[in-house]
Amino acid sequence: MRRLRMMIAADTASQRSMQASRRQVLAGLGGFIIALGMGGRLAHAAAIEKDAGFVPNVFIRVAHDGHVKVISSYLEMGQGTFTGLATMAAEELDVGIDQVTVEAAPADLAYANPKFGIQGTGGSTAMAGAWDKMRPAAATARAMLLTAAGKRWRVPVEQLTVERGVVHHVASGRSAGYGDFVDAAMRMAVPTTVEVKKPDQYRLLGRPGTRRIDVAAKVDGSAIYTQDQKLPDMLVAVMAHPPKLWGKVAAVDAEAALAVPGVVAVVEVPGDDDVQGGVAVLARNTWVAMRGRDALNIRWDGTKAPRIDTAEMAKRFEDLSKTPGRVALTRGKILTDRPSGGTTIEAIYHQPFLAHAPMEPMNCLVHIEGDRCTIWNGEQNHTIDQVNAAKELGIPTDHVAINQLYAGGSFGRRANPRSDFVREAVRIAREARKKGIGVPIKMVWMREDDMRMTQYRPQTVHNAVIQLDGDGKIASWHHRIVGASFTKVTAPDGIDHMLLEGIEDMPYAIPNLRLEQHNPEDTYVPTQWLRSVGHTHSAFVGETLIDEAARAAKADPYQYRRAMLLKGDPRQLGVLDLVAQRSGWGRPLAEGADGTRRARGIALQQAFGTYVAQVVEVSLHQDGSYAVDRVYCSVDCGTVINPDIVMAQIEGGTGFGLSFLRQAITIKDGAVQQGNFNDYPVLRMDAMPPVEVSIIPSTAKPTGVGEPGVPLIAPAVVNAIASLTGKSIHALPLPAEIEL
Amino acid sequence: MPLLWYLRDEISFTGTKFGCGMALCGACTVHLNGDPVRSCQMPVGDVGDRQITTIEAMSSDRIGKAVQDAWIAEQVPQCGYCQSGQIMSATALLRVKAAPSDEDIDAALSGNICRCATYRRIRTAVHKAAQELR
Ligand code: FES
Ligand code: FES
């Protein structure tokens, strides 16, 4: 608890309300620092924490005042994850959501993501993972508390009811809050089987009106992100990164930087194959560190930097796409000749590297003390970052404690499989210690670092040859994808399935299909998953090709999809029909003024187990500019936990995907050419269309909604445009003016 | 030193956010005598005796409070990082325009990026706050 008090003492904000809410956040941190000190066994550690209350398992704690604390193994980066977890717990415990707080878990495999086997957030897995963990955890707590109540009152448990955390025995008129049974429950054995509620018993799950638990702190400025975290004596580190990817420092002249008042030290940060490195300037505040960085005189050694050129890469990828690749999937036998009376579609698609560009640029706060290290971070990849940080320092893994803070967006970026920015921050602190600086150090990347030295969604080329038979049906589909792997780690079969997702599981009945992959290992561009991963590029290709096939078959693209859909997957058909109906598909659209033409476009995709279909209304102006006027979206994500959050995520995902129409990261002679929002355009308010989201009721296991809203908007918009111009579009970003 | 870093680092008013440092994103928006300014571009020495208001003071500002309440009612924030700036821009708009049109809102808030794309809810919330204030 000493650390906790120190952190509060460091808080110099004069606003009392702000302090109060910070204290809540920090009080949480105090808990898990202790937990890690106890070898990461939270349940045990929490039990020795003063008044931790009833700790039936690692996910739930019930305090003596009846307040419920939910421990989240997942990051809240905007997707409403904390609220979803709290809702599940509140449902099973029969408490109000206002009686629950959520605390982030420490890095510990007890909190491993059931899908990944490590503790991390991603792949839209949080709700699906928690469904089978959080609900039984909360139901167990309830069962134990009720058993305790039944014993004390000498009544059968079946006669007890609970409302807002108060246990009632109606027949005898007795009532008492959960808190009264905490001590008795603590002494009980944990039952091995409990039953969770059936859908008809839900009070909160799927019902509208449950508000997000993080919103209040996000409208008054009190929510604490890594950028905001402060510790006593903390220094801020700003990096001078190499001007070219993987460039190395040849020599540093730090004199001018050190002369900037407030600069404390200049630290060389060695780079390697995972971490860019460079030179860090440590100062009392960010601005001084920035000025110190600007005053550095660095000679860079560009000789080791590969001459990356994305334009050349595109050509090379295209050439490669014309050669056989590793076969990832084959069904039937692809046709090399056009069926009689049929049509051949040949298409080569180009899509660029993309940066995540979350509003909060990467940052990470590190404090090394002796052989222990504490990290404060919008932590998305707990156990991997923990292992990698420990390796950097040569200390045991459990000597690294990670405190998870809110993330100002991430879109996947904060979960780097190689822990790039976390390791850079740890390296700064490690090198600073060699200079006798042992204080906490917060590394703050500027927007330009976050754009030029980041990890990118891979650039790709797709090459497809589709044969339609005389009826316009797809007879054969031969598809090659060329792109660096998302993670540099491929499956044992040598295939990067992340690169193929969305194509390898297309929902259409294609009798003859062959899917090949080229994974050039020599692009030297750091790559990583971006929100919706493979679907970010595959949906654009697959769903515009289906439209192209429909156009060639002179068929309506909605009806064509319907006819081509694989039988036996009613959920695909469900979302497709619903969106067609909601959008008035087939009914004429009002023409625009001044020769503006308007059209609808449609797209369909299953991503991460969630089914989404979209229809857009697009205006194409006479000068070739376009606007997305309206979006309809249908979604089937199994059991809905919070309908408002589902809508917000699908809407937000759509907005995120709309930016793909205009974005590209390009690299010339090893240097990324974009640096900030002036040259890396993002969607702004004036271009955001209304998005109507319709949710299909379901009792299937919940699937995620953080990502599946992203991939369809680009193909749907392009399909609408192509239906007006009759010209297929095979590249993103779109030109400023569409060729009419 | 830009006002942004003075607020955040020197006096720990961390509600005002750093997003781009180049007047491109609006995350750092504060009020200077009631007008919205990008604090990343405003040297603290130029403030003089003008009044700086940050997100931390919005709950005691009549319009600011209405905007925050509307933000909660419409459940606007996702990651939340841009929202201080959005709220500061929206509050400044409502101060000069009691009943803004969609176009007014677009014009006043297009400098505020939200990567989570909460834009439609922002717009609805601005209208709602305007209504509540009437
Ligand atoms: S940080 Fe000032 S506008 Fe972006
Ligand atoms: S809420 Fe995440 S950037 Fe706006």
DSSP A84-142: HHHHHHHHHHT--GGGEEEEEPPS-GGG--TTTSSS---TT-HHHHHHTTHHHHHHHHH
pLDDT at residue number A73 = 82
Is A217 an 8 Å CB contact of chain B? yes
Average pLDDT over residues A488-514: 86
Kindly identify which residue of chain A lies nearest to residue B54, measuring between CA atoms: A221
Place of tokens 């099973």: A92
- The domain locations on chain A are 4-140+202-219, 226-304+362-444, 321-353+457-725
For residue B1, give the nearest of A223, A287, A644 by CB distance: A287
Give CA angle at A571 (A568, A575), nearest 5°: 135
Could you tell me the pLDDT band of residue A646, with boundaries at 50, 70 and 90? very high
Return the amino acid letter for A724. L
Kindly identify which residue of chain A lies nearest to residue B10, measuring between CA atoms: A285
Return the amino acid letter for A311. A
Written in H, E and C, the secondary structure of A458-498 is: CCEEEEEEEEECCCCCEEEEEEEEEECCCCCCCCCCCCCHH
pLDDT at residue number A490 = 57
> Which residues, including other chains, have CB under 8 Å from residue A127's CB and lie 6 or more apart?
A81, A84, A641, A702, A703, A704, A705
- Pick the closest to residue A462 from A312, A604, A320, A608 (CA basis): A320
Q: Which of B14, B67, B104 to mutate to test the interface with A (most CBs of A within 10 A)?
A: B14
Average pLDDT over residues A616-632: 97
Contact yes or no for A709/A531 (Cβ under 8 A): no
Q: Which residues in chain A touch residue B114, judged by CB atoms under 8 angstroms apart?
A: 359, 685
Average pLDDT over residues B79-90: 98
Least trusted range by pLDDT, from A30-44, A490-504, A562-576: A30-44
Is A665 an 8 Å CB contact of chain B? no
Query: What is the maximum span of chain A, computed from C-alpha positions, in angstroms?
Result: 84
pLDDT at residue number A383 = 87
Is A224 an 8 Å CB contact of chain B? yes
Residue A603 alpha carbon to ligand 1 centre in Å = 36
Average pLDDT over residues A175-198: 92
For residue B79, give the nearest of A78, A230, A447 by CB distance: A78
Taking CB atoms and an 8 Å limit, are A677 and B20 in contact across chains? Answer: yes
Please determine, for residue A56, whether its predicted confidence score (pLDDT) is greater than 90. Answer: no
Taking CB atoms and an 8 Å limit, are B17 and A222 in contact across chains? Answer: no
Q: Nearest 5°: phi and psi at A283?
A: -150, 170
What is the C-alpha to C-alpha distance for residues A194 and A672, in angstroms, rounded to an integer?
Answer: 55
Closest ligand 1 atom to residue B17 Cα is 1
pLDDT at residue number A47 = 34
Report how far Cα A438 is from the mean position of its chain's Cα atoms.
Answer: 33
Could you tell me the pLDDT band of residue A15, with boundaries at 50, 70 and 90? very low
Please determine, for residue A678, whether its predicted confidence score (pLDDT) is greater than 90. Answer: yes
CATH, residue B112: 1.10.150.120
Q: Which residues, listed in sequence order, are joined to residue A731 by a DSSP beta bridge?
A: A350
- Provide the pairing of β-strand A474-483 with B35-38: unpaired
Q: What sign has the CA pseudo-torsion A125, A131, A133, A135? A: positive
Residue from B81, B87, B121, B123 whose mutation best tests the ligand 2 pocket (most atoms within 8 A of CB): B81
CATH number 3.30.365.10 is the correct assignment for the domain at A226-304+362-444: yes
> Which residues, including other chains, have CB under 8 Å from residue A173's CB and lie 6 or more apart?
none
What is the C-alpha to C-alpha distance for residues A712 and A704, in angstroms, rounded to an integer?
Answer: 16
Please determine, for residue A8, whether its predicted confidence score (pLDDT) is greater than 50. Answer: no
Q: Which residues in chain B touch residue A683, judged by CB atoms under 8 angstroms apart?
A: 117, 119
A206-255 pLDDT, tens digit each: 999 899 989 999 999 999 999 999 999 999 999 999 999 999 999 999 99
Please determine, for residue A30, whether its predicted confidence score (pLDDT) is greater than 80. Answer: no
Taking CB atoms and an 8 Å limit, are A359 and B15 in contact across chains? Answer: no
Is B56 an 8 Å CB contact of chain A? yes
Contact yes or no for A512/A435 (Cβ under 8 A): no
Give CA angle at A366 (A363, A368), nearest 5°: 165
Could you tell me the pLDDT band of residue A493, with boundaries at 50, 70 and 90? confident
Q: Which residues in chain B touch residue A357, judged by CB atoms under 8 angstroms apart?
A: 115
Taking CB atoms and an 8 Å limit, are A676 and B80 in contact across chains? Answer: no
What is the C-alpha to C-alpha distance for residues A594 and A334, in angstroms, rounded to an integer?
Answer: 47
Topology at the third CATH level for domain A321-353+457-725: Aldehyde Oxidoreductase; domain 4 (3.30.365)
Q: Is A727 exposed, middle or buried, given 0-12, 13-18 or 19+ CB atoms closer than 10 A? A: exposed
- Which tokens sit at B120? 């439609």
Residue from B17, B25, B29, B118 whose mutation best tests the ligand 2 pocket (most atoms within 8 A of CB): B118
The Cβ of residue A725 has, within 10 Å, a number of other Cβ atoms equal to 15
Could you tell me the pLDDT band of residue A42, with boundaries at 50, 70 and 90? very low
> Which residues, including other chains, have CB under 8 Å from residue A370's CB and lie 6 or more apart?
none
The Cβ of residue A527 has, within 10 Å, a number of other Cβ atoms equal to 20
What is the C-alpha to C-alpha distance for residues A169 and A151, in angstroms, rounded to an integer?
Answer: 12
Closest ligand 2 atom to residue A359 Cα is 3
What is the C-alpha to C-alpha distance for residues A218 and A221, in angstroms, rounded to an integer?
Answer: 6
Please determine, for residue A205, whether its predicted confidence score (pLDDT) is greater than 90. Answer: yes
Please report which helix (H) or strand (E) contains residue A368, including its range.
strand A363-369
Please determine, for residue B115, whether its predicted confidence score (pLDDT) is greater than 60. Answer: yes
Taking CB atoms and an 8 Å limit, are B55 and A212 in contact across chains? Answer: no
Q: Count structural domains, chain B.
A: 1
The torsion of the CA quartet A170, A171, A175, A179, rounded to 10 degrees, works out to -90
Taking CB atoms and an 8 Å limit, are A218 and B22 in contact across chains? Answer: no
Please determine, for residue B77, whether its predicted confidence score (pLDDT) is greater than 70. Answer: yes
What is the C-alpha to C-alpha distance for residues B28 and A546, in angstroms, rounded to an integer?
Answer: 44
Could you tell me the pLDDT band of residue A491, with boundaries at 50, 70 and 90? low
Taking CB atoms and an 8 Å limit, are B17 and A18 in contact across chains? Answer: no
DSSP track, A22-52: HHHHHHHHHHHHHHHHTTT-HHHHHHHSTT-
For ligand 1, atom 3, name the residue with the nearest CA: B23
Q: Which residues, listed in sequence order, are joined to residue A569 by a DSSP beta bridge?
A: none
Taking CB atoms and an 8 Å limit, are A360 and B87 in contact across chains? Answer: no
Residues lining ligand 1, CB < 6 A? Answer: B 18-21, 23-28, 38, 40
Residue B85 alpha carbon to ligand 1 centre in Å = 9
Interface predicted TM-score (ipTM) of this complex, two decimals: 0.98
What's the alpha-carbon Rg for chain A, to the nearest Å?
A: 27
Q: Calculate the alpha carbon distances from A727 to A551, A552, A605, A740 in Å.
A: 10, 12, 23, 8
Q: Which ligand is nearest to the CA of B83?
A: 2
Closest ligand 1 atom to residue B20 Cα is 4
A251-270 pLDDT, tens digit each: 999 999 999 999 999 999 99
How many angstroms away from the CA of A653 is the closest CA of chain B?
A: 7
How many angstroms away from the CA of B40 is the closest CA of chain A?
A: 10
Contact yes or no for A211/B77 (Cβ under 8 A): no
- Provide the pairing of β-strand A68-72 with A100-104: parallel
Least trusted range by pLDDT, from A7-11, A395-399, A662-666, A701-705: A7-11
Could you tell me the pLDDT band of residue A51, with boundaries at 50, 70 and 90? low
pLDDT at residue number A638 = 95
Q: Where are the alpha helices (DSSP H) in A265-309?
A: 286-295
Is B121 an 8 Å CB contact of chain A? yes
Taking CB atoms and an 8 Å limit, are A678 and B84 in contact across chains? Answer: no
Contact yes or no for B92/B34 (Cβ under 8 A): yes
Q: Which residues in chain A touch residue B115, judged by CB atoms under 8 angstroms apart?
A: 357-359, 409, 411, 656, 682
Taking CB atoms and an 8 Å limit, are A447 and B19 in contact across chains? Answer: yes
What is the C-alpha to C-alpha distance for residues A341 and A356, in angstroms, rounded to an integer?
Answer: 46
Taking CB atoms and an 8 Å limit, are A219 and B68 in contact across chains? Answer: yes
Average pLDDT over residues A396-411: 94
Could you tell me the pLDDT band of residue A107, with boundaries at 50, 70 and 90? confident
pLDDT at residue number B58 = 97
Could you tell me the pLDDT band of residue A35, with boundaries at 50, 70 and 90? very low
Contact yes or no for A358/A411 (Cβ under 8 A): yes
What is the C-alpha to C-alpha distance for residues B67 and B62, in angstroms, rounded to an integer?
Answer: 9
Residue B10 alpha carbon to ligand 1 centre in Å = 18
B44-76 pLDDT, tens digit each: 999 999 999 999 999 999 999 999 999 999 999
- Residues spanned by the domain of B97: 3-133
Q: What are the contacts of B31-35 at 24+ separation with CB within 8 A?
A: B31/B88, B31/B91, B31/B92, B34/B92, B34/B95, B35/B92
Chain A and chain B share a number of CB contacts under 8 A equal to: 191
Please report which helix (H) or strand (E) contains residue A364, including its range.
strand A363-369
The Cβ of residue A208 has, within 10 Å, a number of other Cβ atoms equal to 9
Please determine, for residue A198, whether its predicted confidence score (pLDDT) is greater than 70. Answer: yes
Pick the CATH number of A4-140+202-219 from 3.30.365, 1.10.260, 1.10.220, 1.20.1300: 3.30.365
SS3 content of chain A, % helix, strand, coil (to 5): 35, 25, 45
- Provide the pairing of β-strand A235-240 with A278-283: antiparallel
- The answer to whether the peptide bond before residue A735 is cis (omega within 30 degrees of 0) is no
Q: Is A580 exposed, middle or buried, given 0-12, 13-18 or 19+ CB atoms closer than 10 A? A: buried
pLDDT at residue number A489 = 61
Is A676 an 8 Å CB contact of chain B? yes
Please determine, for residue A36, whether its predicted confidence score (pLDDT) is greater than 60. Answer: no
Q: What percent of chain A has pLDDT over 90?
A: 78
Give CA angle at A582 (A577, A584), nearest 5°: 95
Ranges assigned E (strand) in A158-316: 160-163, 166-169, 174-177, 235-240, 248-253, 263-269, 278-283, 297-301
SS3 content of chain B, % helix, strand, coil (to 5): 50, 10, 40
For residue B13, give the nearest of A13, A224, A652 by CB distance: A13
How many angstroms away from the CA of A407 is the closest CA of chain B?
A: 7
Average pLDDT over residues A588-610: 94
Q: Which residues in chain B touch residue A690, judged by CB atoms under 8 angstroms apart?
A: 120
Position with higher pLDDT, A614 vs A568: A614
Please determine, for residue A444, whether its predicted confidence score (pLDDT) is greater than 70. Answer: yes
